[in-house]
């Protein structure tokens, strides 16, 4: 028996990312084929609010329950794991600067006892997506302030061993998805290295092209995994 296609809600920060995702889905023949792509705004707060609005609209207005939520867009990559122009898929989605700075160093909101600071996408699915997209796989860090110095990049890498990318929306999207008990993925196309801020070295066009290519491949990867699950 053929597996039912997953219904996927893809959330991006800005319209350029949405357009790149849509171009990939169009190339795969999947516009209006189980995927909805919505722009929710930049930063953790806008992402959480926009994601919840999109989810409530799907559930209460359209009466459609997504099977999967995906936070997607461009982001910074940690060298050497995720160079510019490559892709990264989150093994975990981490609120990297939500907490308190103490004399002993940074304490996460989870360590302070005020909530969670990490979401874990379904392990087999996220690993399969990383393999299918030839992407780096590891923690993707959500920050409210983009890293702009070598010292902060080193601090984040030390606190989160194996981190592959930095973005501003993943944790907000994951919080919204968790509230309605939906699994989440995060996919990032790398436009710049995490470290000293050098706009001249950014390759946004290259990253958007990589994002388009990723979403050209993603539907087939998800179908294979859905068949394995028997859903």
> How many CB atoms within 10 Å of residue 142?
30
3-state secondary structure of 157: helix
- CB within 8 Å of 44: residues ≥ 6 apart: 95, 98, 142, 144, 168, 169, 171, 172
Interacting residues of 190 by C-beta distance below 8 A, sequence separation 6+: 74, 75, 76, 77, 82, 83, 84, 85, 86, 87, 88, 165, 207, 210
Q: How many CA atoms lie within 13 A of 141 on its CB side?
A: 27
Q: Is the pTM of this model over 0.85?
A: yes
Phi, psi of 61 (to 5 degrees): -100, -50
pLDDT value at 5 more than 70 = no
Instruction: Assign 231 a pLDDT band (cuts: 50, 70, 90).
Output: very low
pLDDT of residue 63: 82
Residue 155 confidence (pLDDT) above 80: yes
Mean pLDDT of the chain: 91
Domain positions in the chain are: 8-229
Q: Which phi and psi angles does 225 have, rounded to 5°? A: -70, -40
Quote helix, strand, coil % in the chain, to nearest 5.
40, 25, 35
Domain over 8-229 is classified CATH 3.40.30.10: no
Mapped onto helix, strand or coil, the DSSP state of residue 93 is: strand
The model's pLDDT over 199-211, given as tens digits with 9 standing for 90+, comes to 888 899 999 999 9
DSSP state of 204: H
**Three-class SS of residue 227?**
helix
């Amino acid at each position: 028996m053929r597996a039912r296609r997953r219904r996927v809600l893809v959330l991006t920060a800005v319209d350029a990312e949405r357009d790149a995702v849509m171009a990939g889905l169009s190339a795969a023949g999947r516009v209006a084929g189980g995927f909805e792509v919505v722009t929710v705004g930049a930063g953790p707060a806008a992402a959480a609010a926009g994601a919840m609005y999109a989810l409530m609209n799907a559930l209460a207005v359209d009466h459609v329950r997504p099977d999967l939520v995906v936070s997607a867009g461009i982001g910074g990559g940690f060298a050497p794991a995720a160079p510019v122009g490559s892709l990264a898929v989150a093994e975990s989605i981490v609120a990297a600067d939500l907490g308190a700075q103490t004399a002993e160093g940074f304490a996460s909101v989870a360590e302070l006892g005020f909530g969670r600071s990490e979401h874990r996408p379904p392990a087999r699915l996220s690993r399969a997506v990383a393999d299918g997209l030839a992407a780096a796989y590891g923690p993707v860090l959500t920050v409210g302030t983009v890293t702009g110095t070598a010292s902060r990049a080193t601090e984040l890498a030390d606190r989160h061993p194996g981190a592959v990318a930095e973005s501003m929306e993943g944790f907000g999207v994951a919080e919204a998805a968790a509230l309605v008990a939906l699994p989440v993925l995060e996919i990032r196309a790398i436009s710049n290295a995490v470290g000293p801020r050098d706009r001249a070295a950014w390759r946004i066009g290259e990253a958007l092209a990589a994002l388009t290519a990723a979403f050209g491949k993603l539907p087939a990867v998800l179908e294979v995994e859905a068949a394995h699950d028997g859903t």
